[in-house]
Chains A and B, each alone.
Chain A
Amino acid sequence: MTATSEQEPSALYDVPGPKARKRHRIFGVLATLAIAAILGWILYLLFDTDQFTTAKWRPFAYTGIQELLLRGLGNTLKAFAYASVLSLVLGGVLAVGRLSDHRPVRWVATVIVEFFRAMPVLVMIFFVFVALQVQALPALVTGLTLYNGSVLAEVFRSGVNSVDKGQREAAYALGMRKTQVMVQVLAPQALRAMLPAIISQLVVALKDTSLGYLITYEEFLHAGKLIASNLDYDLPFIPVVMVISPIYIGMCMLLSWFAQWVSRRQRRDPKAKAAAVTRAEPGGLLPGER
């Protein structure tokens, strides 16, 4: 592999000559050493503060603890499933509202979408949990649905708007009704183009299910906290983090990679030609948004 093919072209650097390559190699060695030193220091700290003692890792061998963790994981996935299905529905409804030809409907939908996008999710979750006094799971799901539904509404809307104008005009010219144009022509193409952005938003929803921990919903992090604060196991805090975070981050990463895979696939697909396929980036800007 040559030096140029390793990197995407950018305006910053020239193709390195022999001298620059040598310099880069020296920098590379130094950087690798520095990174290794940081990792070594973290490892030293872990050993120095006795994080690998049997007492701290013993709880994970018990089936009771394993079941507790699995139950927590199950609750996390349950909240995610409810929240994602409901926010897709809410997003669809709000997007229809925003694309409506009737001004009052459009106005109401816009206010709802803008308000819930500007509010922290946690404020909504706490509001439902504390002020309306509902159970933890419905409170979490409501908060996540309102926020992600509003974001998805914008995704759907910009998807429909990004479909090539000729498609709509051709459909109307064929004598199709408004609803037919939307359902049979625009929505399918918009959905294809926006699929990566939709999945990326679901990654956000999955990440935010961990907010349930703050309202004592018995999810994955909550289960971890229970184990971590147990004196019998010498407060195995770091071991719990070391067990929980790879699973949590791994789940989100899998979903993110799925979004990227879909994005690459759709880009090659001739059926998705009439609307530009979005990039799979969580929190990224939608086309046309500033």
Chain B
Amino acid sequence: MNVLTDNFSTYGKGFLGTVELTVYASLLALALGFLMASFRVAPVASLRFFGTAWVTVLRNTPLTLLFFAVLLGLPRFGLVLPFQLFAVLALGCYTSAFICEALRSGINTVPRGQGEAARSLGMTFGQTLSAVVLPQAFRSVIAPVGSTLIALAKNSAIAGAFSVTELLGTYRTLSELGYNIIWTFVWIALGYLIITLTISALFHLMEKRWGVAR
């Protein structure tokens, strides 16, 4: 127990690091995923191709390899940024592929007749999109996007191994200080459980509020 009370600030810093990483990477992943999903359903073939290539490559890339390439490779191009930013970039790009697929299958669940009806009422493309298609798609993507973001929070642990301040990395400091390593990990595990359960509860709430009854 004193492992936690003695090192509350270390744990707190690590916990906040993980939360920060998760939030920023989630925002990047959602934005990029939305962009890629719009590419993948676009009527322009080259955009569709680009979106498909992005998703296929990133979904089959080991995240460690991506971290390796981004954190150690991009500086070779003269791009020097703080490691945390690189980590957000790697995590966000990786997760965007999964977000894209979730959003795309959400858009595909909207029946074709909905769009046709909207157009025959004289709605413009923007109106069809914002008033008819996206609200319906949103309802069916809550659960898959939630589980993708939980996976993102768990994946953020990899950043710790690349010397970004986050929860898993705290074990190194604490084991140097000579604390019981098993208890150190128990509290780390608890920290991750808090984060994943919070995201899960958040999306459960959204699902309850807006989700489609299945």
From 202 to 249 in chain A, residues with beta carbon under 8 angstroms from any chain B beta carbon are: 203, 206-211, 213-214, 221, 224-225, 228, 235, 237-238, 241, 244-245, 248-249
Given the complex of chains A and B, what is the CA–CA distance between A157 and B75 in angstroms?
46
A31-B44 in contact (CB<8A):
yes
A14-B65 in contact (CB<8A):
no
Q: Given A10-B115, A241-B73, does the pair A122, B56 have CB atoms closer than 8 Å?
A: no
Given the complex of chains A and B, what is the CA–CA distance between A173 and B116 in angstroms?
50
Given the complex of chains A and B, what is the CA–CA distance between A8 and B189 in angstroms?
44
How would you classify the secondary structure of chain B's contact residues: helix, strand, loop or mixed?
Answer: helix
Chain A residues whose C-beta falls within 8 Å of the C-beta of B62 in the assembled complex: 206-210, 221, 248, 252
How would you classify the secondary structure of chain A's contact residues: helix, strand, loop or mixed?
Answer: helix
Given the complex of chains A and B, what is the CA–CA distance between A246 and B211 in angstroms?
40
Residue of B nearest to A283 (CB): B98
Closest chain-B Cβ to A23's Cβ sits at a distance in Å of 9
B43-A123 in contact (CB<8A):
no
From 21 to 72 in chain A, residues with beta carbon under 8 angstroms from any chain B beta carbon are: 24, 27-28, 31-32, 35, 45, 49, 51
Chain B residues whose C-beta falls within 8 Å of the C-beta of A8 in the assembled complex: 108
Question: Which one of A16, A121, A248 contacts B43 once the chains associate, using CB atoms below 8 Å?
Answer: A16
**Interface-side segment among B4-12, B80-88, B180-188:** B180-188
The interface bits of chain A over 1-18 (1 if a CB of B lies within 8 angstroms of the residue's CB, else 0) are 001001111111110100
B45-A253 in contact (CB<8A):
no
Closest chain-A Cβ to B172's Cβ sits at a distance in Å of 9
The yes or no answer to A108 lying at the interface (CB within 8 A) is no
Given the complex of chains A and B, what is the CA–CA distance between A283 and B60 in angstroms?
11
Given the complex of chains A and B, what is the CA–CA distance between A228 and B69 in angstroms?
11
Chain B residues whose C-beta falls within 8 Å of the C-beta of A10 in the assembled complex: 41, 107-108, 110, 112, 115
Residue of B nearest to A45 (CB): B77
Given the complex of chains A and B, what is the CA–CA distance between A211 and B119 in angstroms?
50
A245-B61 in contact (CB<8A):
yes
B64-A31 in contact (CB<8A):
no
From 11 to 69 in chain B, residues with beta carbon under 8 angstroms from any chain A beta carbon are: 41, 43-48, 50, 56-57, 59-65, 68-69
- Chain A residues close to B by CB (< 8 Å): 3, 6-14, 16, 20, 24, 27-28, 31-32, 35, 45, 49, 51, 118-123, 126-127, 130-131, 203, 206-211, 213-214, 221, 224-225, 228, 235, 237-238, 241, 244-245, 248-249, 252-253, 256, 281-285, 289-290
22 inter-chain pairs at a CB distance below 8 angstroms, sorted by A residue, are A6-B45, A7-B43, A9-B112, A10-B112, A11-B114, A11-B116, A24-B43, A24-B44, A28-B47, A31-B50, A118-B192, A118-B193, A122-B157, A123-B189, A126-B185, A206-B62, A209-B62, A210-B65, A214-B64, A214-B158, A248-B65, A283-B148
